[in-house]
Amino acid sequence: MRWLMGGQVYDVSTGSFRTADIGIAHGRIATVGSGARREHADDTIDATGLWLLPGLIDCHVHLTLPTDAGDPAASANRSDAAITLYAAGAAARTLHAGITTVRDVGGWNYVEMAVRDAVDSGSIPGPRMFLAGRLLSITTSTVEYYPGMYEVADGVDAVRAAARRQLAKGADLIKVMATGAMLSSETEDSRAIQFTLEELRAAVEIAHDNHKHVAAHCHALRGIENAVEAGVDSIEHCTFADDAVLRKMAAAGTTLVPTVCAGELLFRDPAAIASMPPHLLTRMAEFNDLHIDAIRRAHQLGVAIAMGTDAGTPGNHHGLNAEECVLLSLKAGLSPQESIRTATVNAARLLRQADHLGALDEGKHADIIGMCENPLDDITALTRVALVIKAGEVARDERGA
Ligand SMILES: [Zn+2]
């Protein structure tokens, strides 16, 4: 048994800390409470002065996308070998920032699956990874930007076959493009509908029949309506949502994954901005405030929010993921407790991992992060993690540094 002694342990259900010791065995939390006896501990970590949270979960990343390249056309023809090495580095930076689990909603020629296998076997550092494989899309000119990420499928039968291909490759979920994208070709419109309601239903049918979930990329209002109607599990971005569709999401239990970082972190990075084609920069600037307003209204109307950054977009660097929690709190009106919930219990529920992840409770995976400051007093503390433990193993330790 390994003991994490004397830390302030966060209870996500009450939103409060208490001093407690955490006993870890076989990668899981064996016990939480007082009375852990040092003399019985064969391995003890002193957590005095640390504020301990469950490892954070990011439900929207692209580990294979290079964040310093503002022009997708310039990085469309990277070799799979180069992409694999890049993704391995991105995985390490993500874990070291306290993100112990990610959901990748659009990989590249399935190289991310090799990265996942290397992480799971312990040969390289990285978070737990839930993967979509290629994202499903209609025929669109944006495929030229992301040839390794897009799986084109037009029509219900083609969508079924494409979803099955992702599952056969080892996908944990299916990602569908319900509307156009922002970081897309000059002729693509983020307010255009892409998959029809029938095509979305086909993807949901195949995923749910296989006990997998569906993430739907949505900007346009009618695309959000179609995705909710089709029964998807999460709406990504949700930019042009009105209150009526947000109420439908709340009633249906559809989770919103905001990705506020995609706009906000881009505008903090002059190099990424400078390398970006004008049409992309214009769109990102035009819709950023409107997007944040939609997230604020969603929260007020009771929509469940799960943290997701879109890490991989320009300036949205792997390892800055916890900034999303900061932005949700400071810009979208969530309390620090609510913001922490998005990256813990809410995210675990979306991943269908509520029994294993998202809380510091007996029986859960021992994925634990520690900070020297109380994140309830200052939510930016989440971006300054001193201790990262994944499955009971220390991945980063800067206590006292
Ligand atoms: Zn994305």
Model pLDDT for residues 91-148, shown as the tens digit of each residue:
999 999 999 999 999 999 999 999 999 999 999 999 999 999 999 999 999 999 999 9
CATH assignment of the domain containing 47: 2.30.40.10
**Cα 61 to ligand 1 centre (Å):** 6
Residues 156 and 263 in one domain: yes
**Cα 142 to ligand 1 centre (Å):** 13
Residues 292 and 148 in one domain: yes
**Cα 259 to ligand 1 centre (Å):** 8
**Cα 216 to ligand 1 centre (Å):** 10
345 pLDDT band (50/70/90 cuts)? very high
**Cα 312 to ligand 1 centre (Å):** 8
**Cα 87 to ligand 1 centre (Å):** 15
**Cα 105 to ligand 1 centre (Å):** 6
Residue 39 domain boundaries: 2-54+359-397
Spatial distance between the Cα atoms of 308 and 312, rounded to a whole number of angstroms: 12
Count the domains in the chain.
2
**Cα 25 to ligand 1 centre (Å):** 36
User: Quick count: other Cβ atoms within 10 Å of Cβ 124?
Assistant: 15
Q: Is the pTM of this model over 0.85?
A: yes
**Cα 19 to ligand 1 centre (Å):** 38
Asked whether residue 37 carries a pLDDT value surpassing 80, the answer given is no
Asked whether residue 64 carries a pLDDT value surpassing 70, the answer given is yes
Residue 298 has, within 13 A of its CA and on its CB side, a CA count of: 30
Asked whether residue 39 carries a pLDDT value surpassing 90, the answer given is no
Residues 9 and 46 in one domain: yes
| Angle at which helices 221-230 and 243-252 cross, to 10° | 20
Residues 48 and 65 in one domain: no
pLDDT attached to residue 41: 59
Q: What is the mean pLDDT of residues 35-45?
A: 68
**Cα 399 to ligand 1 centre (Å):** 34
Residues 292 and 388 in one domain: no
Candidates 391, 381, 393; CA nearest to 10 is 381
CATH assignment of the domain containing 249: 3.20.20.140
Residues 31 and 89 in one domain: no
Residues 244 and 138 in one domain: yes
Q: What is the mean pLDDT of residues 262-285?
A: 94
Amino acid identity for residue 369 in this structure? I
54 pLDDT band (50/70/90 cuts)? very high
**Cα 59 to ligand 1 centre (Å):** 10
pLDDT attached to residue 207: 98
Spatial distance between the Cα atoms of 347 and 99, rounded to a whole number of angstroms: 12
**Cα 341 to ligand 1 centre (Å):** 21
CA 231, distance to chain mean position in Å, is 20
Average pLDDT value over all residues in the chain = 96
Residues 226 and 285 in one domain: yes
Pair 338, 296: CB distance under 8 Å: no
Asked whether residue 356 carries a pLDDT value surpassing 90, the answer given is yes
Residues 331 and 367 in one domain: no
Residues 235 and 383 in one domain: no
